[in-house]
């Protein structure tokens, strides 16, 4: 983690009538929420005509919609993920607002919650955004979801939506007790009451979690947030190697934490979850997640990170198996969203050179995880100087097989400063490009992304 105060980064929000994008770099906070300064958008290369496009294998069934992904200026290789906290992508008038109006760096992820498109950072409320008819992006404002009664504080940038019920599950972590609070929204986006989790006994960086049909699973990593660390000359956030990481399981419709249980998980410092599900009638819970191997360097040099399959015996309330599913540095795992909370077979993950340099993609077959340490069945490297955004899987219209669809991502060539929107065949062993659209301006490699169907955009 960077010990110096991160400098504000300019944020470019390229607009295009054909490919609207957002400016949302990953943020893993180093500090408690504080006001941030607005940065002046950096000067971007002159935009070529938006019609420039190339297609090596046109397809009539390409996904219809838009991929939104981080597009702020390229962080230097030495920049930390933590330093991205200070990125400010809000308009100048919002920068002048006070704390009660929000902090503003909704720069981590995007989600559709109850049909609303929101930009998210875990240190703030969601910000409702909309795509205008001509393809521009507008910030509507900080969004207080109705219901619940209590003042809505912060929210994770990684909410999980059940594809069958339309409910969205989320949480917030905080620097004072309760250090973790779980909540959910119904399919209309109305928030239900908070479930405070006091058995989370310290403030930890809980960046992501997972849901199954009946449960939510939370990590309790060794990365802690403690203002008192300042007194001993340490950053407010850092690794506490004497702490034993844990996994916590709570019924997803819990009204309190009475039924929650925690399991010690040495060496398990989860950054992002990929999916979770139940097996054996609920006696077993399986979680697939990325695990930081060198947690003491996690916030400064995140270059050793694996994907693991973790098996929980729900009856015995203990972890009974952990399986590394690839030998590569992988994170930002994507799945067919129809399988969120349900057993799935395929994971598509970004290959990390170092954070945030995503140099390629792999497709993993989890059915091989019991017998192999490398479940890769397809891979694709972008080439020298080319870095991608988080991949998103988009199912082909009418598809029945889990991997019948496309992987979409932005790929930026740092040498030419040209960016393409790539559509790749998820069934191909080389993740072959079926369409590549040259974008009107540079979109640097980024972090989290969302693909929004045109039909969802039209409902907003
Ligand atoms: Fe994230």
Rounded to the nearest angstrom, the distance between the alpha carbon of 403 and the centre of ligand 1 is 23
Of 86, 91, 110, 227, residue with least CA distance to 161: 110
d(CA 212, CA 214): 5
Residue among 11, 16, 12, 42 nearest 136 (CA): 16
17 has a pLDDT exceeding 50: no
How far away, in angstroms, is 299 Cα from ligand 1 center?
13
Ligand 1 centroid to residue 157 C-alpha, Å = 7
Cβ neighbours of residue 82 closer than 8 Å, sequence gap 6 or more: 1, 2, 6, 28, 29, 30, 237, 299, 300
* Nearest one of 211, 20, 282, 238 to 131, comparing CA atoms: 20
Planar angle of CA 105, 153, 171, nearest 5 degrees:
90
pLDDT for residue 166 is more than 80: yes
* Alpha carbon of 158 to ligand 1 centroid (Å): 7
Burial of 361 (0-12, 13-18, 19+ CB in 10 A): buried
Fold type of domain 65-459: Methylamine Dehydrogenase; Chain H (2.130.10)
Distance CA 244, CA 268 (A): 9
Q: Which residues is 185 bridged to in the sheet? A: 168, 191
Which residue ranges make up the annotated binding site?
Answer: 158, 207, 272, 448
Quick one: pLDDT at residue 311?
98
Please state the residue numbers annotated as binding site for Fe cation. Answer: 158, 207, 272, 448
Long-range contact list for 417-422, CB < 8 A, 24+ apart?
Answer: 417/45, 417/442, 418/442, 419/443, 419/444, 420/54, 421/19, 421/67, 422/388
CA distances 211 to 228, 274, 345, Å, are 33, 10, 16
Give the Cα separation of 362 and 197 in Å (integer).
Answer: 36
- pLDDT tens by residue, 174-193: 999 999 999 999 999 999 99
Residue 360 pLDDT greater than 90, yes or no = yes
Cα–ligand 1 centroid distance for 28 (angstroms): 8
Average pLDDT over residues 327-342: 96
- Nearest CA among 188, 9, 174 for reference residue 81: 9
Q: Are 140 and 130 in contact (CB under 8 A)?
A: yes
d(CA 191, CA 270): 26
- Quick check: 30 pLDDT over 70? no
Instruction: Give the pair of three-digit tokens for residue 35.
Output: 């006001």
Residue 51 pLDDT exceeds 50: no
What is d(CA 75, CA 77) in angstroms, rounded to the nearest whole number? Answer: 6
Q: Give per-residue pLDDT as tens, 367-411.
A: 999 888 899 999 999 999 999 999 999 999 999 999 999 999 999
Q: What separation in Å is there between the alpha carbon of 113 and the centre of ligand 1?
A: 17
What is the percentage of the chain residues whose pLDDT exceeds 90? 58
Structure confidence at residue 199 as a pLDDT band (50, 70, 90) = very high
* Most confidently modeled range among 84-98, 294-308, 339-353: 339-353
Tokens (6 digits) for 235: 């950053």
Share of the chain above pLDDT 70, in %: 75
State the distance from the centre of ligand 1 to the C-alpha of 449, rounded, in angstroms: 10
Instruction: Please report the pLDDT score of residue 2 as a whole number.
Output: 31
Q: What is the pLDDT of residues 406-443, one digit of tens each?
A: 999 999 999 999 999 999 999 999 999 999 999 999 98
Distance of alpha carbon 110 from alpha carbon 117, whole angstroms? 7
- Residue 157 vs residue 93, higher pLDDT: 157
pLDDT at 8 over 90: no
Q: Residue 353 above 90 pLDDT? A: no
CA of 280 to the centre of ligand 1 (A): 30
Contacts of 266 (CB under 8 A, 6+ apart): 244, 245
In this predicted structure, which of 98-102, 116-120, 230-234, 248-252 has the lowest mean pLDDT?
Answer: 98-102
Ligand 1 center from residue 83 Cα (angstroms): 14
Q: Determine the distance separating the centroid of ligand 1 and the alpha carbon of 11, expressed in angstroms.
A: 18
Ligand 1 geometric centre to CA of 69 (Å): 12
Q: What is the pLDDT of residue 6?
A: 29
Element at 457 (helix H, strand E): helix 454-459
User: Given pLDDT bands bounded at 50, 70 and 90, which one contains residue 150?
Assistant: low
**If you measure from the C-alpha of residue 117 to the centroid of ligand 1, how many angstroms do you get, rounded to a whole number?**
17
Distance (Å) from CA 81 to ligand 1 centroid: 10
Is residue 145 over pLDDT 90? no
Ligand 1 center–CA 219 separation, angstroms: 14
User: End-to-end alpha-carbon separation of the chain, Å?
Assistant: 38
Tell which residue, 346, 350, 382, has the closest CA to residue 365.
Answer: 346
In the DSSP assignment, the letter for residue 124 is S
Using the mean position of ligand 1's atoms as its centre, give its distance from the Cα of residue 217 in Å. Answer: 16
Task: Using pLDDT thresholds of 50, 70 and 90, give the confidence band for residue 44.
Answer: very low
Distance 354 CA to ligand 1 centre (A): 15
Q: Residue 98 has which token pair?
A: 């006070």
CA distances from residue 228 to 122, 154, 206, 232, 432 in whole angstroms, order as listed: 21, 22, 19, 7, 51
Q: Ligand 1 centre and the CA of 432: distance in Å?
A: 26
CB distance 422 to 40 below 8 Å: no
Domain ranges of the chain: 65-459
Task: Output the pLDDT for position 374.
Answer: 92
Q: What is the pLDDT of residues 100-135, one digit of tens each?
A: 556 677 889 999 999 999 999 998 888 999 888 888
């Amino acid at each position: 983690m960077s010990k110096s105060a991160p400098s504000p980064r300019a944020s470019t929000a390229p607009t295009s009538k054909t490919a609207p994008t957002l400016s949302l770099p990953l943020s893993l906070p180093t500090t408690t929420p504080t006001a941030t300064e607005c940065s002046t958008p950096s000067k971007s290369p002159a935009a070529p005509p938006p019609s420039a496009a190339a297609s090596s294998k046109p397809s009539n069934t390409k996904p219809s919609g838009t991929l939104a992904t981080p597009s702020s200026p390229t962080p230097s290789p030495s920049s930390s993920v933590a330093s991205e906290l200070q990125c400010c992508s809000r308009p100048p008038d919002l920068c002048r607002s006070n704390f009660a109006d929000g902090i503003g760096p909704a720069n981590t992820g995007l989600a559709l919650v109850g049909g609303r498109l929101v930009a998210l950072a875990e240190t703030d409320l969601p910000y409702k955004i909309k795509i205008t008819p001509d393809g521009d992006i507008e910030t509507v404002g900080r969004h207080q979801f109705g219901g619940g009664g209590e003042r809505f504080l912060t929210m994770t940038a990684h909410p999980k939506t059940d594809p069958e019920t339309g409910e969205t599950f989320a949480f917030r972590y905080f620097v004072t007790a309760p250090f973790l609070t779980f909540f959910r929204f119904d399919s209309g986006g109305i928030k239900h009451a908070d479930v405070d989790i006091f058995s989370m006994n310290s403030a930890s960086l809980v960046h992501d979690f997972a849901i199954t049909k009946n449960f939510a699973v939370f990590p309790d990593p060794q990365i802690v947030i403690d203002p008192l660390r300042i007194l001993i000359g340490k950053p407010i956030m850092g690794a506490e190697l004497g702490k034993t990481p844990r996994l916590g399981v709570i019924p997803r419709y819990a009204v309190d934490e009475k039924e929650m249980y925690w399991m010690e998980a040495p060496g398990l410092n989860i950054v992002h979850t990929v999916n979770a599900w139940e097996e054996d009638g609920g006696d077993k819970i399986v979680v697939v997640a990325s695990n930081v191997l060198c947690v003491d360097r996690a916030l400064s040099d995140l270059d050793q990170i694996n994907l693991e399959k973790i098996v929980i015996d729900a009856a015995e309330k203990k972890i009974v198996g952990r399986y590394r599913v690839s030998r590569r540095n992988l994170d930002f795992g994507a799945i067919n969203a129809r399988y969120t909370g349900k057993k799935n077979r395929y994971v598509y993950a970004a290959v990390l050179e170092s954070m945030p340099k995503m140099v390629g993609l792999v497709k993993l077959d989890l059915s091989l995880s019991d017998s192999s340490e490398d479940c890769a069945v397809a891979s694709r490297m972008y080439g020298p100087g080319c870095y991608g955004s988080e991949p998103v899987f988009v199912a082909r219209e009418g598809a029945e097989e889990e991997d019948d669809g496309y992987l979409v991502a932005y790929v930026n060539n740092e040498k030419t400063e040209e960016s393409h929107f790539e559509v790749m065949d998820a069934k191909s062993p080389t993740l072959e490009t079926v369409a590549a659209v040259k974008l009107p301006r540079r979109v640097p490699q980024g972090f989290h992304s969302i693909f929004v169907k045109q039909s969802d955009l039209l409902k907003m």
